[in-house]
């Protein structure tokens, strides 16, 4: 029970720390909300393009990409948090106690996943108010949130690895900015692959953002021949996320053990 107890206490500690800095919560939600309110209106005519799912508005199509963008951006804040713990001496103090070493990392990761779920729920709620609801119902929302949470965990491993390796919040932010928008705009997050330039279509077919967005979109638009999304779309996304998670979390654990030792 030590691992569970220690993890729960460190999870609560991370959440309290986050709530004491509400401005961070506001600005992490600000961009996806702006995308939902204005970006979808600006490009509403995209729904008239050939190959666009019949009967769906651009907002219906883009909400999957917007909610994933939030999870993608939020996951990179994990690295800055671990750097803050290193610089403040909190991690050193924790290592001087009998707390489970695994719990130190688990508490951090689980709090980040929980935050992404809450933020995604808010975005889905706002989208519902604006007229977009999941065709697959409550179960669809739950599956979509699980996909976003696992995606956030997998990608937070990148920022955690960078933070543990460089011990520099500036480096984490710099690399996050370098990765976020190129990956987002060379995917199917905001437009279908059919309207992308040929080279972008090739990149998109290997882009993990595309696989994950398509899975969430399948749950929002529905899985049938009309939308072109199937159960296989969701299973493929889980496989891609799992593969990325093994790589990123493996690197995080390796670097964390070096710091601990």
* pLDDT tens digit sequence for 83-94: 888 888 877 888
| Residue at 31 is within a domain | no
| Residue at 28 is within a domain | no
Of 17-21, 35-39, 56-60, the poorest mean pLDDT is in 17-21
Q: How far apart are CA 111 and CA 86, in angstroms?
A: 18
Residues 6 or more apart from 10 whose CB is under 8 A from it?
99, 103, 104, 106, 107, 108, 111
Closest listed residue to residue 71, CA positions, set 241, 243, 230: 241
Q: What is the reported pLDDT for 177?
A: 75
Paired tokens of 188: 């199917």
Give the pLDDT band of residue 185 (cuts 50, 70, 90): confident
| Residue at 219 is within a domain | yes
pLDDT tens column, 90-108: 778 887 788 887 888 888 8
The label of the residue with tokens 């159960």 reads 231
Q: What is the reported pLDDT for 56?
A: 80
| Residue at 65 is within a domain | yes
- Give me the chain's average pLDDT, please: 85
Q: What is the reported pLDDT for 225?
A: 63
pLDDT tens column, 59-90: 999 999 999 888 887 787 778 788 888 888 87
C-alpha 261: how far from its chain's center?
A: 30
Q: How far apart are CA 117 and CA 18, in angstroms?
A: 15
Does the pLDDT value for residue 254 go beyond 70? Answer: yes
| Residue at 86 is within a domain | yes
Q: Domains in the chain: how many in total? A: 1
Residues 6 or more apart from 28 whose CB is under 8 A from it?
70, 73, 74, 77, 119
Does the pLDDT value for residue 209 go beyond 80? Answer: yes
Query: Radius of gyration over alpha carbons of the chain, in Å?
Result: 19
Q: How far apart are CA 50 and CA 16, in angstroms?
A: 48
Give the pLDDT band of residue 27 (cuts 50, 70, 90): low
CA distances from 57 to 74, 195, 223, 233 (A): 27, 16, 16, 21
> Are 221 and 53 a contacting pair, CB within 8 Å?
yes
User: Is residue 121 packed enough to be buried (19+ CB in 10 Å), middle (13-18) or exposed (0-12)?
Assistant: middle
Q: What is the reported pLDDT for 226?
A: 67
| Residue at 3 is within a domain | no
Phi, psi of 187, rounded to the nearest 5 degrees? -130, -175
C-alpha 101: how far from its chain's center?
A: 25
| Residue at 239 is within a domain | yes
Q: What percent of the chain has pLDDT over 90?
A: 26
| Residue at 33 is within a domain | no
Of 11-15, 37-41, 121-125, 225-229, the poorest mean pLDDT is in 225-229
Residues 6 or more apart from 249 whose CB is under 8 A from it?
153, 154, 157
Domain containing 160: what range?
A: 58-260
Q: How far apart are CA 187 and CA 206, in angstroms?
A: 9
Closest listed residue to residue 208, CA positions, set 182, 171, 231: 182
């Amino acid at each position: 029970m030590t691992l569970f107890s220690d993890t729960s206490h460190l999870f609560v500690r991370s959440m309290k720390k986050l709530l004491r800095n509400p401005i961070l919560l506001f600005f992490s939600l600000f961009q996806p909300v702006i995308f939902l309110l204005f970006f979808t209106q600006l490009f509403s005519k995209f729904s008239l393009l050939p190959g666009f799912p019949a009967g769906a508005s651009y907002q219906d199509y883009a909400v999957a990409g917007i909610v994933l963008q939030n999870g993608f951006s939020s996951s990179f804040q994990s690295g800055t948090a671990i750097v803050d713990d290193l610089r403040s001496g909190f991690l050193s103090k924790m290592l001087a106690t009998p707390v489970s070493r695994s719990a130190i990392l688990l508490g951090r990761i689980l709090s980040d996943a929980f935050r992404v779920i809450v933020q995604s729920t808010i975005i889905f709620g706002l989208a519902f108010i604006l007229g977009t609801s999941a065709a697959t119902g409550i179960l669809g929302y739950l599956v979509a949130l699980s996909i976003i949470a696992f995606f956030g965990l997998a990608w937070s491993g990148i920022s955690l690895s960078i933070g543990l390796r460089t011990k520099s919040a500036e480096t984490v932010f710099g690399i996050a900015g370098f990765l976020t928008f190129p990956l987002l705009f060379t995917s199917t997050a905001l437009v279908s692959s059919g309207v992308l330039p040929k080279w972008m279509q090739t990149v998109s077919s290997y882009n993990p953002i595309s696989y994950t967005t398509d899975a969430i979109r399948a749950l929002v638009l529905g899985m049938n021949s009309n939308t072109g999304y199937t159960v296989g779309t969701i299973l493929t996304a889980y496989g891609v996320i799992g593969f990325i998670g093994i790589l990123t979390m493996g690197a995080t654990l390796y670097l964390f053990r070096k710091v601990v030792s």
